[in-house]
Amino acid sequence: MDVLHWDGTLSAKDFRIGAFAFAQKWESCNLAFPPWSWLPCPKHPWLAPPEEEGYLSLEKICISRPNEEEDIDQISQIDTGEEETCCSRNEDVLDDATLVQSNHHELHYCDFHIVYSSTFRVPVLYFRAYCSDGRPLPLDEIEKELPACASKELSKKWTFITQEEHPCLKRPWYKLHPCGTAEWMKLLFLSDTANPKFEVVLELYLLSWFSVVGQVFGLRISLKISN
C-alpha cells in the first residue's frame, strides 16, 4: 500500500500485527510497567470470532502519591509483591502521577485495554479506575486525578472521554473517543520525510499512537522503545 494514499486506518488484521509489534517493543525495554498481554475476545456460543479478534491489556497498575508535597511518585503492580519503583529513575516513562489519591494514603488502580474499533478502523484506549476495595471511580474523580497535561491534551479536540460498553467484555468502560485518530495518524506518518513503507507503518503505528494518547494519563513512551 502506498502511504501517500493511505487514510490513516487499519484493518483488524493490521491491528493485530501492530499490537504484537508494540507489545514486544514495550516488553524488551525493561520498563517499570508490566508487559502488555494479548487477550482473545471471549467466544460466544452463537458467534465464533475471527482469529485476529482480541485486544491488548495492561492491568492492575497502581500509582500513588503518599504526600502532596513529595515530588516522587511511586509505581507498583498490586498483586506481585514487587518493590515500588521510584519515578525519578524512569522519567522518560512516566510524566505526572496518574489516578492518585493523596488523602489517607489510599491507592487507586487502573486497567488499560487497547481495542480495535471496527467502526473507525483504529485502535481505541479503554480504561477503568478503582479503589483498593474494588469500588469503581466515577469519571469526575478520575478527571481530578489526571496529570496537568491531560486537560491540555483533551482541549486539543482530537479526543474526549466517554463511557461505552467494552466491545469484548460487554461491560461499561471509559474510553478515549477515536473520532480524530485516523486523521492525525495519517498526518503523523506523512510528515516523515523518509516516506516509510506500509510494513514499517504497521510496526510503528501503535507505538506512535500510544505516544500521543498515553499523555492523557501521564504515560510517556520510553526513548528506548522509539529507537
| Three-class secondary structure of residue 24 per DSSP | helix
Mean pLDDT computed over 187-208: 87
In the three-class reduction of DSSP (H, G, I as helix; E, B as strand; rest coil), residue 14 is classed as helix
At residue 225, the pLDDT reads 65
> In this structure, how many other beta carbons lie within 10 angstroms of the beta carbon of residue 65?
20
Look at 20-29, 80-89, 188-197 and tell me which has the smallest mean pLDDT.
Answer: 80-89
Please state, for a pLDDT cut of 90, what percent of the chain lies above it: 44
Among 44-58, 60-74, 147-161, 207-221, the range scoring the smallest mean pLDDT is 60-74
pLDDT tens figures, 201-218: 999 999 999 999 988 887
What the chain holds in terms of domains, given with CATH numbers, is 3-64+106-216 (3.30.1460.50)
Mean pLDDT of the chain: 78
At 122 the pLDDT is 98
pLDDT of res. 74: 38
| H helix or E strand, kind and range, residue 125 | strand 122-131
For residue range 34-51, what is the model confidence (pLDDT) as tens digits? 899 999 998 766 555 555
The C-alpha atoms of residue 36 and residue 59 are separated, in whole angstroms, by 8
- Positive or negative CA dihedral for 67, 68, 74, 80? positive
User: Quick one: pLDDT at residue 217?
Assistant: 85
CA-only gyration radius of the chain, Å: 18
pTM above 0.85, yes or no: no
| Secondary structure of 49-79 as H, E, C letters | CCCCCEEEEEEEEEEECCCCCCCCCEEEECC
Average pLDDT rounded to a whole number, residues 22-44: 85
Tell me, what amino acid is at 208?
S
Degrees to nearest 5, angle at CA 215 with 212 and 221: 70
C-beta atoms surrounding 160 within 10 Å: 12
Which tens digit of pLDDT belongs to each residue from 96-140? Answer: 444 444 445 578 899 999 999 999 999 999 999 999 899 999 998
The SS3 of residue 46 is coil
Side-chain half-sphere of 50: how many Cα atoms within 13 Å? 8
**Catalytic residue at 131?**
no
Residues in the chain: 227
Which of 199 and 219 is assigned the larger pLDDT?
Answer: 199
Decide if pLDDT at 71 tops 60. Answer: no
pLDDT at residue number 78: 36
